[in-house]
Amino acid sequence: MVRQFNGVMKAAAFVLVLFLLIPLTGWSKEAVPVAENPEVEKRMLLLTENLRCLVCQNETIADSRADFSNDIRREIREQIKANKTDPEIIQFLVDRYGDFVLYDPPIKPTTFLLWFGPVILFVLGLGSLIVYLRRRRLQIEDVSLSQAQLEEAEALLNEDKKGKNV
């Protein structure tokens, strides 16, 4: 009798363990997309990846969690939905925050040094290298050796050969 009861208990415990194995998380809802419209979200992300968050200046607006970036992302989403083109949206932001929001600064007189400075430095460096090398070559003169010096050199070289033969 007691044995039978034990058997039932064991079976019950086994079933209980089986129940515990049911993956509850499997029943959770399907992940809801962050934005209602994935197309808009994609375009917004592409745009904001090249825009600087003005609050946390080394982060893009796409990456930043700052309130400022949240607002700008929302604004951009709204403008995309309102059928604004990408250049229009960029211009909207530049009008308000200046070129500083762009990670790619535009080419204009105030940024000439920024854009062409490295090229100028490179050309200057290359030029001075060439001048330096030319001058050095001129400094190296062909030294003519006297007969005595040549013989001495010959003797030294032969000595070396003899040494090796030994």
Candidates 72, 73, 80, 89; binder of another protein (CB under 8 A) is: 72
Going 79 to 85 to 86 to 91, the CA torsion angle's sign is negative
Token pair for 67: 């309130």
Token pair for 141: 């003169």
Token pair for 99: 């070129």
Tell me the closest approach of the beta carbon of residue 40 to another protein, in angstroms. Answer: 18
Pick between residue 95 and residue 141 the one whose CB is nearest to another protein.
Answer: 95
**Main-chain phi, psi angles of 102, to 5 degrees:** -90, 135
Tell me the closest approach of the beta carbon of residue 74 to another protein, in angstroms. Answer: 9
Considering only residues 73 through 92, tell me which ones interact with another protein, judged by CB under 8 A. Answer: 75
Pick between residue 100 and residue 116 the one whose CB is nearest to another protein.
Answer: 100
Residue 60, beta-bridge partner list: 52
Considering only residues 92 through 121, tell me which ones interact with another protein, judged by CB under 8 A. Answer: 94-100
Is residue 14 a contact point for another protein (CB under 8 A)? no
Considering only residues 26 through 55, tell me which ones interact with another protein, judged by CB under 8 A. Answer: 54-55
Token pair for 43: 């375009």
The Cα–Cα gap between 79 and 35 comes to 15
> Which residues sit at the interface with another protein, rule CB under 8 A?
54-55, 57, 67-68, 71-72, 75, 94-100
